[in-house]
Structure 1
Amino acid sequence: MLEDTIMEEREELMLSLKPSKTHDPTRKLGLFLKPTSTLTNHGKPFDPTHCCEEKMCSLRVLFKGWRTQQKGWKDWVDGMHSLHKSTWKKAGIYEAVLNSCYEIKKDDNLILGFVQKWCDETKSFVFSWGEVTVTLEDMMVIGGYSVLGDSVDCAIVNEDMERVLEKLMEVRTELTRSSANKADQTQWMKKFKDSGSDIEHEAFLVLWLCRFVFPSSSAVVMKDVLTIGIHLARGVKLALAPAVLASIYRDLSLLKTKMVGFKDDDHNDKTVTAVWAPFQLVQVWIWERFCKLRPNPGHSCSPRFAKWGNKLPVKDVSSFVGSALEEFCWQPYGEDLNDHSLLSKLYQDVGRWVVLDVCLDEGLESWARCSRVSELVGIDGNCIEQYLPHRVAMQFGMNQDVPGDVARTNETSEVAWNFYSRPVTDAKLYIPSRVSEPHVTARYLEWSNKSTGSCSQLCDDEGKNLVKNELRTEGSEDAMGNNDAGGGSGDDEINALGLKLEARIGKLEEVFQYLKAKKQKVI
């Protein structure tokens, strides 16, 4: 069985993708998220290019999970905040609850434009310059959700919890027998808000979960979240981040499938596709990462929605199709020194190795969960999505190499959750600086450019000089090898020369990979 570690350090021929930097590759030590592949013919970058622009405009979508606050909701939040702030922090939902007080103005065209770039196979948005995606780190910083804690598929564990569950169920049943014939969220709020009930806090969190975290039915209090609310009200930390991200991946794939399958004669079809994931998180992710596609942000960063609340979307978002590499912000969360979130405090001005103890602190363990491959289990257990951060290593301040394949571990929701929550086995982790400059390998550039076809003969001056320099170095080594040959045995000489030749071939192959990518104008 392969060692289950998160990262590896090795020497590679690498280069920066920044337009302002020189494009000459340099052999250097680099850090990579696992697994990686050393083969340029390993699979093929998925090319998501489809003629979706017209379909994007014609596809009718309802973002039903994009909920705004009810009248009186902020007052209820303020009241509960004064009583239960410490409990929310202990449960890891403090900023997530406060986010619900801010409205993110929806930009349908922006989101559907990014759906064009989504690839279900890689769980990423694929651009000509590489892959990017919404990660667990984004769920922590933007959404305010925890990646640590128990599964959302939690059970009632004592009599007190059982008593509270019975009371909540009684009220829910009462509402379903009303004239509305459903457990209406507005009526639920009227029943409990400022009531002084001994279960008001649980009822508040249940409504918050139904409306803003796991929306699944219009304005109805769902039974699925009652137990979750009871646990959170007692300060029990639950891993809400992977469950929310699973719903986002699921619905991005659903919309992409609908978009690709939309036929020319379907333009008069009045069918509407409804998605329930909280897509406001996707829009804020776009705004955080793509500077040219966002409005001017506010000054506050806590909670994160305060930075973007009530901001009007940019009118012209058509440029996103050609969004260039330099327009993407790889590490937006370490740049703001006023951001005191858990992960922002982990990043420092200089990258460092951290030796891991048996008991990890919360920040390190959270970062480890965000940066390793796993399975994301949704709230109902039927939604299980693969999580592949090694495909977007530069979003974690690491270098990017050809991503290796990852076998699924999703036979059941329990198996998937155990894979997600497995212990961190690394002896140490490298935490990059808050403004690190990650690189890519020459091998990655050749691999990522396979979708554009084979390259032609290389003939530019830079390529010729690069090969000449490599050959000149080899010539010097040959001379040294010949001088040493006179005093050694025949077998030793052959073995030594064979090793030297193998190393030189490897170097020239890397140079050739770089030049192929350059010829195809990737760099």
Structure 2
Amino acid sequence: MSSSWVETGIFEFIQLAKFDLHLFDPQMLLSAIIFWNRETRAFEFPCGFVFPTLLDIAAITGLTPLGDRFYPDIFEEEISIKELSITWDKKTYLAFINAHVGQPGTPVSPSEHIAFLMYWLSACVFCTPSLQVPKYYFTLAQALHLKKKVCLSKLLLASLYTCLEEASESLFRENGPQNLSRPLWLLQLWLNAIFEKKLSLTSTFTPTFELEGARLTTLTLENV
């Protein structure tokens, strides 16, 4: 499916999932979130206002900042959900994978490819809090399967901002921060890039994959 992913513009981003994106530096994350201003939608650091942009997303993930805006409510399904053999009663990540993986050596079917994209979007991109593959990712997965020029970078950036809003709000709850979800991995990589020189973040490991996000995964303090 690599040629299809290249044409859709998600090949490099999918390769990034091969790296440990869930290796976090909790102190760095919590310290940064304290500086998040929910009114200005920016980090108010001593050096000034700093915030993630589409160009940051492009540099880290390889996604293009261009593309069509995705409207799930008006997207015309070219493949009926009834035509696909997707099992909806097995939603946890492992169960979903086992239910839809094809036989080795056989061509990847549309059902298997869409199921993979749904899992990838749920577990590796947007990181659903339920640790399950929700049905609402079917429309987006189908659009990517059909090689639609969806601007995935905008969806990812919006999800990151939602993540920051929820994380900032949770810090001021009486019972403290709850389990945070959404793309915290992206926040970690972005912070690694922002503070790489300030914190002298270095690593002796050089990833074979030439993508900024892959290099940034090696700079997490617990990995240095």
TM-score bucket of the superposed structures, by smaller chain: 0.7 to 0.9
Residue matched to 1:172: 87
What is the DSSP-based 3-state SS (H/G/I as helix, E as strand, rest coil) of the residue aligned with 1:285? Answer: helix
Q: Which of 44, 59, 81 is the matching residue for 1:141? A: 59
Deviation at 1:157, TM superposition (A): 4.1
Residue matched to 2:151: 239
Residue matched to 1:156: 76
Deviation at 1:214, TM superposition (A): 2.3
* TM-score for both structures, normalised by structure 2: 0.83
Query: Whole-Å Cα distance in 2 between the matches of residues 294 and 150 of structure 1?
Result: 39
What is the DSSP-based 3-state SS (H/G/I as helix, E as strand, rest coil) of the residue aligned with 1:293? Answer: coil
Query: Whole-Å Cα distance in 2 between the matches of residues 206 and 106 of structure 1?
Result: 24
Query: Whole-Å Cα distance in 1 between the matches of residues 200 and 113 of structure 2?
Result: 36
Residue matched to 1:288: 193
Query: Whole-Å Cα distance in 2 between the matches of residues 295 and 314 of structure 1?
Result: 11
Aligned length: 213
Letter in 2 for 1:112: L
Unaligned runs of 5+ in 2: none
Where do 1:307-386 residues align within 5 Å?
307-309=215-217, 311=219, 313=221
**CA RMSD between the two structures:** 2.4
Query: Whole-Å Cα distance in 1 between the matches of residues 45 and 126 of structure 2?
Result: 30
Unaligned runs of 5+ in 1: 1-83, 177-181, 316-523
Deviation at 1:276, TM superposition (A): 2.2
Distance change in 2, residues 1:230/1:151 (3 Å): same
Q: Which of 112, 131, 154 is the matching residue for 1:219? A: 131
Query: Whole-Å Cα distance in 1 between the matches of residues 137 and 160 of structure 2?
Result: 18
User: Deviations 1:297-339 (Å, cap 9, x if unpaired)?
Assistant: 4444623332134555169xxxxxxxxxxxxxxxxxxxxxxxx
Deviation at 1:231, TM superposition (A): 1.6
Residue matched to 1:102: 19
Letter in 1 for 2:60: I
Where do 1:383-402 residues align within 5 Å?
none
Residue matched to 1:198: 109
Query: Whole-Å Cα distance in 2 between the matches of residues 274 and 171 of structure 1?
Result: 29
User: Contact 1:294 / 1:314 at 8 angstroms: preserved in 2?
Assistant: no
Deviation at 1:288, TM superposition (A): 1.1
Distance change in 2, residues 1:111/1:231 (3 Å): same
Residue matched to 1:448: none
* TM-score for both structures, normalised by structure 1: 0.38
Q: Which has the higher contact order (CA 8 A, sep 6+)?
A: 2
Query: Whole-Å Cα distance in 1 between the matches of residues 92 and 168 of structure 2?
Result: 32
User: Contact 1:117 / 1:126 at 8 angstroms: preserved in 2?
Assistant: yes
Query: Whole-Å Cα distance in 1 between the matches of residues 141 and 86 of structure 2?
Result: 15
User: Contact 1:207 / 1:221 at 8 angstroms: preserved in 2?
Assistant: yes
Residue matched to 1:248: 160
Percent identity over the alignment is 25
Query: Whole-Å Cα distance in 1 between the matches of residues 180 and 76 of structure 2?
Result: 30
User: Deviations 1:5-36 (Å, cap 9, x if unpaired)?
Assistant: xxxxxxxxxxxxxxxxxxxxxxxxxxxxxxxx
What is the DSSP-based 3-state SS (H/G/I as helix, E as strand, rest coil) of the residue aligned with 1:146? Answer: coil
The structure that is strand-richer by fraction is: 1
User: Contact 2:170 / 2:177 at 8 angstroms: preserved in 1?
Assistant: no
Letter in 2 for 1:166: K
Indicate the structure (1 or 2) with the bigger Cα radius of gyration.
Answer: 1
